[in-house]
Amino acid sequence: MAELTTEITLEAPIERIWQLLIDFGLYPEWNPLFTKATGPVTPGERFDLVVKLPGMDPFPIKPVLQEAEPKSRLSWQSSMLSSAVLSWTFCYELHSLSPDRLRLTQRSSFKGLLSPLFSFAMKKPVTDGMKSLNEALKRWGEKGKVSCMKC
């Protein structure tokens, strides 16, 4: 298994960042990595997601939501052909540092027969995409420029 990880400290309430992450309808407004998401935020359910890696055309996937632990963890998994060939698990982890400060960790892990090749070829675009998502969360979350209904 190959895993890519990024972290960022955000000066924002954990509730605001959590709401940005689960408000799929707002993704086109702020999220440069996952530019469109539709469907339920319900573990075990599939949803539609458009991925935009830097330097590549956007592509759709239909992951299964694995976890949605409020203000803590959101993860999904997508497979190509079958999980034995290639699966991609993406996870956000939120860790409260104080009432208005948190650390966000993103993890992308790849498993399956093609994972060594995929990880090698996609390391830079996936890592760059995760970093751009971090910066977008910083802009949207820290400044309070959030228009999601629950924020």
The pTM (predicted TM-score) of the whole model is: 0.89
Helix (H, G, I), strand (E, B) or coil at 20: helix
pLDDT of residue 91: 98
Q: What residues form DSSP beta bridges with 101?
A: 98
58-102 pLDDT tens trace: 999 999 999 999 999 999 999 987 778 889 999 999 999 999 999
Spatial CB neighbours of 68, under 8 Å, sequence gap ≥ 6 = 22, 41, 42, 43, 74
pLDDT of residue 144: 60
| Domains in the chain: ranges and CATH | 2-141 (3.30.530.20)
pLDDT of residue 64: 98
**pLDDT tens per residue, the chain (151 residues)?**
689 999 999 999 999 999 999 999 999 999 999 999 999 999 999 999 999 999 999 999 999 999 999 999 999 999 987 778 889 999 999 999 999 999 999 999 999 988 888 888 889 999 999 999 999 999 998 876 555 545 4
Closest Cα to residue 5, out of 129, 103, 105? Answer: 105
Spatial CB neighbours of 128, under 8 Å, sequence gap ≥ 6 = 53, 54
pLDDT of residue 148: 53
**Angle CA(47)–CA(108)–CA(4) in degrees, nearest 5?**
165
pLDDT of residue 145: 55
Strand 48-51 relative to strand 64-69: parallel, antiparallel, unpaired? unpaired
